[in-house]
Structure 1
Amino acid sequence: MEAKPLIVERTYNAPIEKVWKAITDRDQMKEWYFELEEFKAEKGFKFQFTGGDENVQYLHECEVLVCEPPHKLSYSWRYPDYKGYSVLTWELFKEGENKTRLKLSHEGLESFPQENPNFRVESFTGGWNYFINEALTNFVETETIKKNISITASAEAIWDILLNPGGQWGKAFGDGSFVKSDWKEGSSVIWTDLSGDVGAHGVVAEHRPTEYLQIDMYDDVNPAPDAETGEYSEKYKLTKTNNGDYTLSIESGPLAKKYTQMHEPMWDKALEIIKDLSEKR
C-alpha cells in the first residue's frame, strides 16, 4: 500500500502576500522556522540547515523543486547521513482579503529509517503541527494591545509626563529608553538607548495636547527619506471622568502575536509609572 503524505492545514488571518513572505524570506523564516544561512525561492536553489531536539541535531539538505509565487513552494528534504528522500510542499490559497489557507504536504517520510523514532511520521506530525499551528500563526497574525488606567491628577501634569518618557515611564521598556521629538504633527519621534542607538523611529501623525497623541512607526529604525510608515502605531487618549479624574488609554499595534505577550506587561508597568509620577505632582 502506498503511504499517504502527511498533511497539515491552517487558515490565517493574514493576506497571502504576508504568508508567502514568511515562508520564503530568510530573515523572516528565522523568526518562526529554521535559521538558514541562505535561501532563495528559486527553482534549483540548494540549501541546508540543522534541526532536531535537545539530544540530537540533524543536517538537512534541500533543493527547491517548484516555485510559483505566491501560491506554491516545494523542495526536497533529505538527511545526507541517512537513507531516504522526501518532498515538502507549501500551498497557499487566498480565502479573502485578509485570510489565507495554507496546506502543507510532506511525502516520502516512510523512506527514512523507521527504527529511529525521530524519523517516524508521529514525530514529523508533532513538528509540523507546532510550526503551522503555533509558530507561523503567532508570526503572521497580529493583535493590538489596549490598556487604560485611572489617574487622579491634572491633564497638564499627565500629558507632561507622557511626553517625557526618558528616565521615567520609558524604563518599562528597558533601562535606557529615551525619546527625541518636539511633538509637532509631522515631526520625527526617535527612541534611543543610553548609547544613542536607535531602537524605534516614528512620526507624529496627530497631536491634540492633553487629549490625543498618535505616533505612526516606520518598519525600519533608519528609514529612507521617502519611506512611508508601517502598520504599527501608538495611540494615547486622555479623557475626563465624571468624578474629575482622568482615564489614560493606550493602543499599541498591530503587533505579531509572538510579541504581544512580551509587550503587555511592559505597558502595564509604563501606565503605573505614569500614574504614580502624575499623582505625586
Structure 2
Amino acid sequence: MEDRSIRKEITLNIGIDKVWSALTIPNEMKEWYFDVKGFKLKPFNKFYFYEPNGTNFKHVCRILEIMPQQRIRYTWSYPEYSKGVSIVSWRLTSLKKNQTHVALIHSGIENFEDAGSDLSRANFVAGWKEIIETILPNHLKKQMVF
C-alpha cells in the first residue's frame, strides 16, 4: 500500500526550546497555529479547535506520544463530518545551539474521503505548506533574541 502521508520539513535558525514551546504552549499556539481548547501536555489528553478562517470544522485531537523537545504525536479528526482519524506527528532535531530541524508528518488523510472535497488531500497539502513554510517561521522570528 502506498504511503500517502503529507511530509513537510524545514530548518529554522532558532533553538529547539523555542520551537517546542510554540508547539505545546496554548497561548503561543493561539498566535500562529490554532486557538486550542483543553490542551494539556499529557498523554491521552483530548483537545479541540476550529479553523480561524470561518469554517466550522471542529478538529478533535488526542495526544498519543510526548517526547519533550523531540516529538509530539496526536490524532486529528472531524467527528461531526467524518468517521476517519488521522495522525499528526511533529519531530524536532537540534542541529546546533540555535538551529532546529522541524519535520511534520500527517498520515491517514485518506480516512476523510467520506467527508467530501473540503477535507481533500490537496487542501491539507496547501494548509501544511503554508503553516510550515510561512506561518511557523514568521511566528518564531518574533521570538528571536538578538
Tell me the TM-score normalized by structure 1. 0.49
Residue in 2 that maps onto 1:90: 90
Between Structure 1 and Structure 2, which shows a larger proportion of helix residues?
Answer: 2
Q: Alpha carbons of 1:6 and 1:138: their partners in 2 closer, same or farther (altered >3 Å)?
A: same
Q: Alpha carbons of 1:115 and 1:28: their partners in 2 closer, same or farther (altered >3 Å)?
A: closer
Q: Alpha carbons of 1:3 and 1:91: their partners in 2 closer, same or farther (altered >3 Å)?
A: same
Does structure 2 conserve the Cα–Cα contact (< 8 Å) formed by 1:83 and 1:113?
A: no
Matches of 1:37 and 1:114 in 2, distance apart? 26
> 1:114: how far off?
5.8
Structure with bigger gyration radius? 1
Residue in 1 that maps onto 2:35: 35
Equivalent pairs, count? 145
Does structure 1 conserve the Cα–Cα contact (< 8 Å) formed by 2:83 and 2:114?
A: no
Matches of 1:126 and 1:21 in 2, distance apart? 24
Matches of 2:114 and 2:53 in 1, distance apart? 18
> 1:143: how far off?
8.9
Matches of 1:142 and 1:84 in 2, distance apart? 36
Q: Deviations over 1:96-154 (max 9, x none)?
A: 1110000000000001026622211110011011111111101112599xxxxxxxxxx
Q: Deviations over 1:20-71 (max 9, x none)?
A: 00000001000000001231121111111112644x3201111000000000
Aligned residue type for 1:24: T
Counterpart secondary structure, 2:57:
strand
> Where do 5+ consecutive residues of structure 1 fail to align?
145-230, 232-253, 255-281
With CA pairs under 8 Å and 6+ residues apart, which has the higher RCO, 1 or 2?
2
RMSD: 1.9
**1:194-273 map, 5 Å:** 231=145, 254=146
Aligned residue type for 1:57: N
Tell me the TM-score normalized by structure 2. 0.91
Residue in 2 that maps onto 1:104: 104
Q: Alpha carbons of 1:77 and 1:132: their partners in 2 closer, same or farther (altered >3 Å)?
A: same
Q: Alpha carbons of 1:86 and 1:115: their partners in 2 closer, same or farther (altered >3 Å)?
A: closer
